[in-house]
Structure 1
Amino acid sequence: MKSLKFQTRLIIGFSIILFFSFTIGITSFVLVKNIGNSTEAIYKHPFTVSNSVKDINIGINAIHRSMKDVVLANNTEQLHQSINLVNQYDKEIKNAFSLVSERFLGDKKIVNDTYKTYTKWKKIRNEVIYLKSNGNDIEAANITRDKGAVHVNLLFQKTKILTDFAQSKADEFRLESLKNSKNSRFILLLIISIILPLSTISAFIISKSISQPIHEFIQDLRMLYQKEGISENNIHDKSEQEILTETIFELKQAYGELKDFNTELDNKIDIRTRELKVAKEKAEESEQLKSAFLANMSHEIRTPLNSILGFSEFLKKEDIPKLKKDLYLNLIQSGGQRLLTIISDIVDISKIDAGQFNLCYETCQLNKLIDDLFNQFSITNTNNRVSFSTNKFFSDENSYISTDTTRLSQVLSNLIENAQKFTRKGEIELRYELTNNQLLFQVKDTGIGIKEEYHEHIFARFRQNEHDKSIVQSGTGLGLSIAKGIVDLFGGEIGVESEINHGATFFFSIPYLPTTASSLKEPEENNDLLLQRAGKTILVAEDEPSNFIYINDLLNRYNFNVLHAKNGQEAVDIINKKTNVDLILMDIKMPVMNGLIATQEIRKINKTIPVIAQTAYAMADDKRRAMEAGCNDYLSKPISSKMFSQIIHKHLTETYHN
């Protein structure tokens, strides 16, 4: 030992200690791995399978209850809600079956057999839904009580087999884990009892062999401390081994910390570099989309504004022929409608983002909706090389469904307008069919087509097909994005199939909810009835002069007495004076006092007078706030004369009868 260098002695000593440590580490790793494998097996099979089977049983119970609700549904809305619950639980059960099939350690035929039983039950449910939808309530109830109930009990029996198998596996894994744990403790105790004495002996021999060199090192260290003016007490009362151990430990610790710091710093630099690269790419893409969108919005808004302002200037002249005057008025109205469409697109996408885009189900004759769209686009089509056609699945008398007619028409219009924009010649076909209790709509064109790499992004907002720059692409770039948002609300799916220069087919599906023609409500004409309310006094709270002039002219057509308040405070003052007012039209955004506060103040004075909110705000929350403030109804600007007359008649009639 004396012939060995100090460095060699340390290497030998550290090698022995490292060998012992490595032995313990490898042994511990193997034992812990065995326990970990057992634990993982418990999780992957008994725990996951049991929970998934539990979820399946809960879902089966929930579907069984919902099918009873389907049978007991009194109207289309209740039926639709119950069917949606069934479909929701059906998806959850399918996910649970998928997890059971993946993790089940027994014979997969058991799982497949259970799932086939569940699939057969789904056919029974679909039969019940079909019978209920077609008015066969008694037959639907009988199937649910008899064949459906028997199938549910059979499902529970089969899922119990899965649960029992999982429990058996859990007991098996538990016994194996206990055995591994017991063996691990014994092996570790045995190794430690051997290694500790060997380490002690090795440490004693090594420390003795290097005590003299360490002593000389300490003497040199003391001389160094004295030269540096450091008190000798820092090392005087410590042993050689303590000083050496502390020195080595501090050096190793400092080196390890420095290494860890460098590694951490390198990792942070790499992560930050990647983040900056991704952020830069996103920022560049966002900037490009924003610039393109702003440029497009500027063009889309300025184009109708140009016609509105230009033709309005022409109308100031007194010598304009009537035909030209009518043409100018039509162009101004068309430009205003185009501006309203742009604003509506932006509002709709904002509603979708805010989660305030709701569907309003009503009875709709689907074939009539298709025919109306066909007539609309056939009339407005300016390209005689493009023809429109339709293909309808149902006969007219069987095409009544429950849906949001406005939103369904909006989706189809957006898809047809998109096809019209990129089709130079050929045909645009609108068709629908019934498949798997879903209505599948298709808009097929013979246009320029869409490159495959654009398919993934075609429904993203502000995205437009950039294949052919020679085609002027008008529009906000939001139409397809809005269409996707509406289809998602319907619970359907939307997609596109296209090849470049071979046209495109946009398709989407929505749930099929059949109904009857008797549920369809025909709108009433109120103009004659409005004349019967002539002489009534209406207070118009409106700060914008042009809006008041328009409303005043509408009311004067029916010989109403009109009072004008320029802000909410004036409206409250008029009511405070006990003025005989039969109805109030209340603008929401006004100076001095807004319409909501004014309505609250009026309700303190008069709780019965009808108050109709009229506002340019378009969010669902705005209507709720108006109703909470005390308003009886809500008119959204721009106000159409037809809707205006219907609302006025409704509330004056209610006041008259009261």
Structure 2
Amino acid sequence: MKGLKFQTRLILGFSLILFFSFIIGIISFIEIKNISKKTEAIYRHPLAVSNSVRDINISINAIHRSMKDVVLAKNIEELYESILVVNKHDRQVYTSFKVVQERFLGEKEVVNDAYQAYRDWEKIRNEVIMLKKGGHDERAADITRGRGAFHVNLLFEKTKILTDFAQNKADEFYLSTLESEQKSFAILITSISLILLISIGTALWLSKSISRPIHRFIDEISTIFTNEDDLIQNIQNKSEQEILGITSKKLKSSYQKLNDFNKELDKQIEQRTSELKEAKEKAEESEQLKSAFLANMSHEIRTPLNSILGFSEFLHKDDLPREKKKLYLDMIDNGGQRLLTIISDIVDISKIEAKQFSLSYEIAMLNEIIDKLHQQFSIATGKKGIELKTLKALDDYSSFISTDITRLSQVFSNLLENSIKFTNEGEIEFGYQVHENRLVMHVRDTGIGIPKDFHHLIFERFRQTDLQEATLPTGTGLGLSIAQGIVELFGGKIWLESEEGTGACFYFELPYLPTSTKQVNKKIKADEFFYHTSGKTILVVEDEPSNYIYVRDLLSEYNYNILHAENGKDAVDIINNDIKVDLILMDIKMPVMNGLQATREIRKTNKTIPVIAQTAHAMSDDKRQAFNAGCNDFLAKPITFQSFSEIVQKHLSQSN
């Protein structure tokens, strides 16, 4: 050991500690794996069996109650509704029995016995249903109260055997796990004590191994400084640390030349890395642009979310006046629509650059667009004490135009948000005027203004990143760039008039496309469609509860009879049971049987009932598949009132 180097001694000491730690780790790992296996056995076998048997009992109870409803059914609709419930829980029982058969650790004959008892009860239920369908109510009731009730009790006794066995098995696994835990704890205590003793011994051994060479080093230093009286006097009667400090000062002068060389080397490195510095600056600029993009997207998304969440909290108040409730609901709707548009902006900006962006024109009241924007942004301006004004050159009836409502609103929104951000007092005005065949729209504010030197930069993407050090804050990053791209897509142009300290006015000019009187009247009367087909029965096939509630409430407001199926199979059963349905709203993606499969099954027996596909998948291939399956029309989510009303009215009118 005496001939070993310091490094070797350190490696040897710590290797010894690591070796024992590794051995302890292996032992602990083995014990943990044992505990894990036993715990997993509880979950994979007894616990899974107990849960499945519990589900079987719950379903048996539900079926038993539903069989009573079958016996008591007053008409064919109630009978088939009860049968559907029985079939639903029947499928759940078979699913649970499958789990029990796979994971039960006892005799399989016990499971088979319980399973056969359920099959026997199923035959009795089918007999009751057939009697009920044949009009033999008394015989059906007698069997339900007699043999049916007896088999239910027999089933509960047999499933109790399964539950008791699973519980005993779980207790056995649990006690075994506790034993392993206690054993692991004892091993851990012993191991920690052993590591502690080894560490103390290793520390003492390393301390001696290091201190002795230090003393030898000090003796050698004394020998070196023998001819220098001042140094010899300084190191006499000094501690090891003090002697090492004095020696380091002496050696410091020896490194002066080395330091000079390092300085010269630094100059050469600086000269040779000029190209790398330039590349680094470009990389930093790219990172700033990326940060600007992320910050802008966060701002754009949070703004409408703030409106939605804020007004949603107000709606929880019970004493909220009706007019305020209506206003808040309008604000939530506006915020939701805007949020949907903003998410699309992430893709829109790339489409604009790639010349793959397109507009969707429709008939719209320009004054209504202005009013909705005023409602949407009046909250933000009110908080800052800014007056928000509008300017409308046409009356409401004359302001119907052909335009892309979403994109026009997006341009106004981006400009208004920009004005609100940089205006702390005064007013903001927005609106439009008509000049011959052009609409000249504007957003004017009394904010801080923009120096003319920056006018040519204001519409460039992420420009505020480049101007962070300037006294003038600018734009929102993507907002003004997107606005410019959309305006140019309309066939218009956008420009700025502003000086520092005098506010700013953004103008954009679009083609004026007024609509004919006939188109205006048709647009105004679109909301009256539902009143001509009240009393019709509509089957809504939708597995998502929130989507069903929305469609149900929308339809029930206009006196429609609503039937609900949670999947395609239930919808097929309703149609095949000759329940009168005037129209089907068919969701595409559903469990058990999807909408396309259900439509094909319905078309085998019913060729005339209108089927409207409603789905969040709105690509052209999805539409083609829906029509090939037998759907009459296609409705893409999110569903708007106008598109929904037009499609429903069209097909209900044709079915009259």
| TM-score, normalised by the number of residues in structure 2 | 0.46
Question: Which structure would you say has the larger RCO, counting Cα contacts within 8 Å and 6 or more residues apart?
Answer: 1
